[in-house]
Structure 1
Amino acid sequence: MNQSLCSISEQERIISLDIMRGFAILGIFLVNMLTFHSPYPNFDPYEWWSGAADKAIYTFIDIFVQASFYTLFSLLFGYGLVIMWERSKLRGVTFGWIGVRRLFFLLMIGMLHAFFIWHGDILITYAIMGFVFLLFIRMTGRNLMITGILLYIIPNLLVSLLLFVSLLVAPAEEITGYEPALAEMAMQVYQNGSFAEITAQRISDWYETNNLATLPFMFISIFPLFLIGGGAAKLKWLEKPKEHKKFLIWIACLSLVFGIIFKLLPYILGKNFATEYVQDIFGGPLLAIGYGLTIALAIEKNAIRKLLSPLSYVGKLSMSNYLFQSIASTLIFYNYGLGLYGEISVMTGTLMVIFIYILQIAASRLWISNYYYGPVEWIWRSFTYFSWPKWKKEK
């Protein structure tokens, strides 16, 4: 294996990608924390958390964070795969099997994560969608972008219309995703169960949202973002933001404005299955695009780059940090750890996120001062390229 392919220098890294990944890891943690410490989303959060502070913090997360950061990571995932494909072409290495091995390892890690650590895993879905994305990776940037946009908007618009029509037939309160019985079952098992019982519950919870019935919705909500992110990579939007500055500013502004409008929809028209679907399915990705492009444009100024640079430490070790958050949180909340499941508020959980994330920034900075890759990233890269890349930095 060509060693030059598997060892990417610091100069080759795109700093905006690392900052965005670090930012996405923070946003994902804020949303995941709700599920780490409670049977969310199987209950009405405004009834479950009655305190004014909890409601205010949850509303902030719902509007500005929910559905925006896993979508940002989806865009970055497609972007990253295209960068790997382009670099392999430049170095005369066939990307096909490299991409397959990379995604297969991701699938294995995702299965371990989902079945033995936390049921809210997204890695399995990314791996499956990634295999499909490899069939499209040779398309031009423009065609990837157009295909992704159409594949996202058309089916999700149809689903949204069907949901709104359904409200004319059945009362809004009869169409809900809340499952109080499932919430109560999760409370009992995660609070009191053995590791084996918790594992069985974890697998059941994973299957509840990852099955043949939900697969089409996963496909139309995640796969098109891979295409859009891959298209942006081929168009060099993040490598050369100055060349596209005016266009990117317009896209960022429009995405943020319309993203906020969609995210506020349930608060304007009333909460129901239709408005909440539109809120997340359209508002989430628009805010993700707005956040990502704002970062890419803002860090062209050195002062802002220095201010945001701590996020890049976490972003360089994004896989290790993502898994660490799940391991640490489940040890805190599940019965085989401290057993605090269902015992804390949204505010306490959010403060825990901030504290743990600050520790991750410090630990990541210390780690990358001594190593080229995070521990999981190094194993992932070794399996991808069938070689042992240099790990420890020489002082």
Structure 2
Amino acid sequence: MNQRVEAVDAIRGFALFGILLVNMTLIQFGFFTSEKPTYLFGDLDKGANWFIQFFGTHNFISLFSFLFGLSIILLQKSIIAKGKKFFPTYIRRIIILLLLGYIHGTFVWEGDILFAYGIIGIFLMMFINRKPKTLLIWAIILLALITLMSYQTDPSTNIDDFAPYTEKEHKVHQTGSYMDHVNFRLTENPFDYMGIDGAFGLFFISVFAIIFMCPLFLFGMYVGKKGWLFEVNKHIHAVKKIWFATGLFSFTIKILAMFVKHPLLIMLQDGLTPVTMTFFYGSTIILLFHYKKATRLLTYMANIGKMSVSNYLAQSIIATTIFYAYGFGLYGKIGYFFGILLTIGIYTIQLFVSTYWLQKYRMGPVEYVWRLGTYLEKPRFKRDLDKAS
């Protein structure tokens, strides 16, 4: 077992659990209901929502973004080692990612992140050949900018701006056919109701997304350039220090922000803790690899991570089918607590399905298509099981 690769895949697999945890809430209640949550089961749901907000919201998408940045550098090293040109291959990879994101966002769920990753992937081309120090400096600059942007004298959000969109959203999810959902995604834009529309709106949203998400990508690229994950055992004491420091900072800020609604604490919580929680979660998985009792679970999680795009898309298909009217129609009916249980159930199934799949195949089905389009050559898909016997 290559522990370095397994650790990265396990972190990616863990990130997919957190992404499903958060997305489950968005799919079953809508995008702009977090400010005015509905607790179907009273304190049980209230506690469950607190758990999701405290441990999940913004943290796992940040972790996934960090891993995407890391994967860019690992891909570059792999392609160069084969004596091939990197950028033509990278551009094809990004184009396919954009196509996957558009298909997912239009025909499955409007909360897609793949298209945004593709846009940011284009922007990151100017950083790929930069020195590690340059990547770190830009990551810190953008992180500081995001943190300052998070400072609000009035921390409340005017959720009423999105009321017309939310009303249409609820209606289509509760009563609409599949094609009604597709049409809704093609014609409705929540930012239109804030006056952010047209070409300017698209440009504004794109720039904001790049600024907001780029620090984690750049941190991931920085770690990839430094090569620390290739020799984790040499840096295990540093990993322990990172785990302790980021955990202490994150939980201290988050707990204080719960009780003291000060703008400075809100700024640190919204701007910095997604980054520190990324390093806390990542270092936790790395440290767990040194405990034999956790090896089996981490191996299963790594299998999910190896099929991350396939599993991410599968999560959306399963959840939307469960909640939307064209499926089982449970939109807004199971609440936060049972949403967590459903998340655990779906993820557990994915643990076993991914492990079984990878016993027969070398990669996930979507990864196969992605790799085929990236390298323009047919990759080996099935495992040679007969040779092992």
Match of 2:276 in 1: 286
Indicate whether 1:186 and 2:172 are aligned.
Answer: no
Match of 1:3 in 2: none
Q: CA deviation at 1:24?
A: 0.3
Q: CA deviation at 1:304?
A: 2.9
Amino acid at match of 2:381: W
After superposition, residues 352-363 of structure 1 pair within 5 angstroms as 352-363=342-353
CA distance in 2, matches of 1:343, 1:176: 26
CA distance in 1, matches of 2:120, 2:234: 31
CA distance in 2, matches of 1:271, 1:55: 22
Match of 1:234 in 2: 225
Q: Secondary structure of 2:68's partner?
A: helix
Amino acid at match of 2:358: I
Number of aligned residue pairs: give it: 376
Match of 1:196 in 2: 179
CA distance in 2, matches of 1:372, 1:326: 23
After superposition, residues 1-395 of structure 1 pair within 5 angstroms as 11=2, 14-49=5-40, 51-153=42-144, 155-161=145-151, 163-164=152-153, 167=154, 175-177=157-159, 179-203=162-186, 208=191, 211-270=202-261, 278-395=268-385
Q: TM-score, normalising length from structure 2?
A: 0.90
CA distance in 2, matches of 1:271, 1:330: 37
Alpha carbons 2:150, 2:266 under 8 Å: kept = no
Alpha carbons 1:42, 1:182 under 8 Å: kept = no
* RMSD of equivalent CA atoms: 2.3
Q: CA deviation at 1:177?
A: 3.8
Match of 1:6 in 2: none
Q: Secondary structure of 1:190's partner?
A: helix
Give the 3 Å change call, closer, same or farther, for CA 324–206 of structure 1 in structure 2.
farther
Q: TM-score, normalising length from structure 1?
A: 0.88
**Which range is displaced more, 361-370 or 212-221?**
212-221
Amino acid at match of 1:194: S
Give the 3 Å change call, closer, same or farther, for CA 380–80 of structure 1 in structure 2.
same
Q: Secondary structure of 1:212's partner?
A: helix
Instruction: Note the alpha carbon deviations across 1:99-153, whole angstroms, 9 max, x for none.
Output: 1011110000000000111010000110110111122111222332232122212
CA distance in 2, matches of 1:287, 1:12: 22
Q: Secondary structure of 2:202's partner?
A: coil
Q: CA deviation at 1:13?
A: 6.8
Q: CA deviation at 1:342?
A: 1.8
Instruction: Note the alpha carbon deviations across 1:156-179, whole angstroms, 9 max, x for none.
Output: 132133x23xx3xxxx55x43453
Q: Secondary structure of 1:42's partner?
A: coil
Alpha carbons 1:31, 1:65 under 8 Å: kept = yes
CA distance in 2, matches of 1:282, 1:214: 21
CA distance in 2, matches of 1:13, 1:389: 23
CA distance in 2, matches of 1:69, 1:237: 22
Amino acid at match of 1:59: W
Amino acid at match of 1:78: G
CA distance in 2, matches of 1:388, 1:176: 51
Alpha carbons 1:67, 1:285 under 8 Å: kept = no
**Which range is displaced more, 303-312 or 59-68?**
303-312
Instruction: Note the alpha carbon deviations across 1:40-89, whole angstroms, 9 max, x for none.
Output: 43353445556111110110110111111110010000101100101212
CA distance in 2, matches of 1:205, 1:278: 33
CA distance in 2, matches of 1:314, 1:206: 32
Alpha carbons 2:48, 2:337 under 8 Å: kept = yes
Alpha carbons 2:73, 2:221 under 8 Å: kept = yes
Give the 3 Å change call, closer, same or farther, for CA 374–47 of structure 1 in structure 2.
closer
Q: Secondary structure of 2:150's partner?
A: helix
Match of 2:195 in 1: none
Contiguous gaps of at least 5 residues in structure 2: 193-200
Contiguous gaps of at least 5 residues in structure 1: 1-9
Give the 3 Å change call, closer, same or farther, for CA 312–72 of structure 1 in structure 2.
same
**Which range is displaced more, 375-384 or 337-346?**
337-346
